[in-house]
Amino acid sequence: MTQPLRPRRLRADGIRSLVSETTVAPSDLVAPVFIDATTDQRQPIESMPGHERVPIADAVPRVEEVLETGVEAVIVFGIPQEKDARGTRAWATDGVVQQAVRAIREETDAYVITDVCLCEYTDHGHCGLLENEGSAEHPDNQGHEGPGLTIDNDRTLELLEKISVSHADAGAHMVAPSGMVDGMVEAIRSALDSADYENVPIMTYAAKYESDFYGPFRDAADGAPSFGDRRHYQMDPANAREARYEVSLDVEQGADILMVKPALPYLDIIATVEAEFDRPVAAYNVSGEYAMLHAAAEKGWLDLEATAYESILSIKRAGADLIITYFAEDIARKL
Ligand code: PBG
């Protein structure tokens, strides 16, 4: 009998790490932080154990906590004091993100990324201007998920430009538009360039799916649509070819980093983007991916630390260069 080929030889202690193909370092990770203008005390986010919305005054201490773990980058989300139909607080000089970023840049060495979107700032919770400019109360917008809900794509672009420039004015190192608005990268690039921010990179949420894994985030950032859903602007989870098209458009428009979101259910998309486009790939390990491991661990069904690490390792193995994850601090602390 011939001997079998024996891949097990390389799994022995001592050799395993020498042949390991993938590593995770704190410098690969980006920690999301939530700044809340409606509170003066930290508010735990129930569906995301260990995460809090912090008041503007705590933005710096919150980021210092992140830096202590070895994670060097944060992505800042804001919960504004007020919402309206146009989301005007999203580009206010004294807006929640603008104030927080200014303080973080002044007092820490963190690399600061901002999420550029309208859904946390509009009273209807959608990621753009509604066509009739109405709010949730407008009769055209009652109970619709179809014809009544039309986002005015091109007028939304102007708002994204203002938001991006206001974030850069506050000191954001990088902006990350997440609204899946057609043409957003080109619009933001030219707005940044005209404001002399040609060195501020754009990390585009290039392939962002209409995913139910965002559920806990919508509690965290108070950004759930008040009616309808996001299926007319975020991508259909059934589609992979369309992701290549979306990503290619963002590359043409000058995107610096290409993001796929969510991460674990979309590892095939991460691998495709990595293989087909010559730009760094980011993956967003979203709130639902975090919450489900916590929930299972609470029941004693999974080991939280081990499954969190395995998740992040797998996302890197699939092709991500950087990962936005609510596990960032926990993992970095262990590395
Ligand atoms: C939109 C935005 C969302 C997330 C990040 N940016 C929510 C959405 O599209 O509904 C989700 C992140 C997560 O689930 O962790 N501004």
The CA 288 to ligand 1 mean position distance, Å, reads 10
> What is the C-alpha to C-alpha distance for residues 278 and 287, in angstroms, rounded to an integer?
28
The CA 224 to ligand 1 mean position distance, Å, reads 9
Q: Given this model, what pLDDT does residue 224 score?
A: 77
Q: Given this model, what pLDDT does residue 301 score?
A: 98
Token digits for 58? 């705590």
Q: Given this model, what pLDDT does residue 137 score?
A: 53
- pLDDT, averaged across the chain: 94
Ligand 1, residue 119: give the atom nearest the CA.
Answer: 16
Name the closest-CA residue to atom 11, ligand 1.
214
Q: Helices 153-170 and 96-107: crossing angle, nearest 10°? A: 30
Q: Which position among 208, 299, 316, 334 bears the catalytic label?
A: 208
Residues within a 6 A CB radius of ligand 1: 115, 117, 119, 178, 214, 217-218, 223, 286-287
The CA 154 to ligand 1 mean position distance, Å, reads 21
The CA 231 to ligand 1 mean position distance, Å, reads 14
One digit per residue, pLDDT tens: the chain, 335 residues? Answer: 799 999 999 999 999 999 999 999 999 999 999 999 999 999 999 999 999 999 999 999 999 999 999 999 999 999 999 999 999 999 999 999 999 999 999 999 999 999 999 999 999 999 999 987 544 555 545 544 444 578 899 999 999 999 999 999 999 999 999 999 999 999 999 999 999 999 999 999 999 999 999 999 887 877 778 878 888 889 999 999 999 999 999 999 999 999 999 999 999 999 999 999 999 999 999 999 999 999 999 999 999 999 999 999 999 999 999 999 999 999 999 99
pTM for the structure as a whole: 0.94
> What is the C-alpha to C-alpha distance for residues 231 and 269, in angstroms, rounded to an integer?
18
Phi and psi for 248 in degrees, rounded to 5?
A: -65, -35
First and final CA of the chain: distance in angstroms? 45
Active site residue 208: yes
Active site residue 334: no
Name the closest-CA residue to atom 6, ligand 1.
178
Element (H, E) at 305: helix 304-318
Q: Given this model, what pLDDT does residue 144 score?
A: 43
